[in-house]
Structure 1
Amino acid sequence: MSDAATARRRGRGGGGAARRAERTAVSIETARYIERNIPNFEVLNDEALEIIEANAEIVLEEIGVNFVENPAALERWREAGADVDGERVRMPKGLARKLCATAPSSFTQHARNPARNVEIGGRNLVLAPVYGPPFVLDLEGNRRYATMADFNDFVKLGYMSKWLHHSGGTVCEPTDIPVNKRHLDMLYAHMTLSDKPYMGSVTEPSRALDSIEMSKILFGDDFVEQNTVMTSLVNINSPLTFDSIMMGALEHYAAHNQAAIISPFIVGGAMAPVSVAGTLTQVLAEVMAGVAYSQLIRPGAPVIFGAFVTSIDMNSGAPT
């Protein structure tokens, strides 16, 4: 038999094996991310929105925000035209909004399986698992601290759910692994037990870098630098304080074109005014400052407007 014939025979055999493998492989169906066609429910009228937006800029200009233990951030703000007094940054009216203008209105978060890519922004709705529970309930109804085995199971369940478009991040907190290395195990679980998009670590700037390096192993260096493959949750220490850990993580993600959810953590009456309008004003001021800072790191870096706003239990002081 000629070499050419042998090559053709091997090619046909390989194709058949691939087709058989495809037919027998387990395939988990996932619904496409949701595109909303119904109009938004407007809680506030245009006048109220304009008042909140104007007051948010007044907060940034007259009160300012603190960037603590982060001299490099203070220098970036100074060069951008802000008034820096110690660790307090006051932004002239219009500066934050001007910087925010370079943030993309929408972006694609790429998944290991391109069919699971999601579009963030516009009228799109992407559903993801819960973030951060320290406890789990077992099948007998007992509450206990979560383990890495629990984390793996939740990632698998998230992958199997047709209605979850995203694998999430800290689907539970695996307390049986030391804090300084558990982010590696958690990210590895998202990468290997699911092919949906996932979130990176933010608990320390070096762990954000670890997340970026692991993603480069999975997707390739150039792909990660040019495309968004991770989101991350960057909380603001309300009221009006940006700590070096969260900002350090944000700096790494923004520099490498990875997305951050800029989210205040506000308990109304404790970390913000009691009134809804006052709280929303603070939320907008804090998010604008965070988004603007991400654009100082890399204009065009993808970001998401996030918010955790709740009320306080006057008996215990806990969020309700």
Structure 2
Amino acid sequence: CALTQLERPGAPVIFGNFLSSMAMRSGSPTFGTPEPALGSLVVGQLARRLNLPLRCAGNFTTSKLPDAQAMTEGTLSMLSAIHCGANFILHSAGFLDGLLSMSYEKFVLDCDLCGALHSYVPGMRLEDDDFALDAFAEVGPGGHFFGCAHTMRHYQTAFWDSETADNRPYETWHEDGGEDAATRANRLWKQRLADYEAPPMDTATAEALADFVARRKAAEDDRWH
């Protein structure tokens, strides 16, 4: 930030960090561990002291697969990014193997996690209707709340609904194939790809874009990227 202001005083900046710990047995970098999470909280305090917007690292992991390690490390790093007050979270979905690879399944699972955190961040709402005192009066002892008026008003929005989690009884889950989360995510991304319809684009614009790409590729040596 200081160098930017020396070069161009008044230039807008965003304060950011990229924190990693290290596996002391191998020397390899580690992600999604407690120490970088704590570091993000410190950086958040510095950003507020400097009155600068904060960019923070997101869903980091060193796992090579969309497995329990990946989701555990990713959740810890995302929670620290949220709690430190980040304004911009980079790499929120799909991250694997220290960003050496990505996974469509992990992307779907991470998007689901982002949805959960989106519901978590606002905190609790404590308006009069949220206490549901009318529901207690309506149901009375020995009854249930599934059909009462308060439930009917709020059942669609009261709780975040995961797209990838399986909350059914074990017997139902087992009879239906016993899929794990990564398998369900695999099916979801393939279905989304199959259902995708490209937005309409007029012919002249499409041809101009294709011509631009062709000219730029012809002007430079072919490279892996």
TM-score range, shorter chain: 0.3 to 0.5
TM-score relative to the length of structure 2: 0.34
Tell me the TM-score normalized by structure 1.
0.25
Between Structure 1 and Structure 2, the one with more strand by share is 1
Higher relative contact order (CA 8 A, sep 6+): 1
Higher helix share: 2
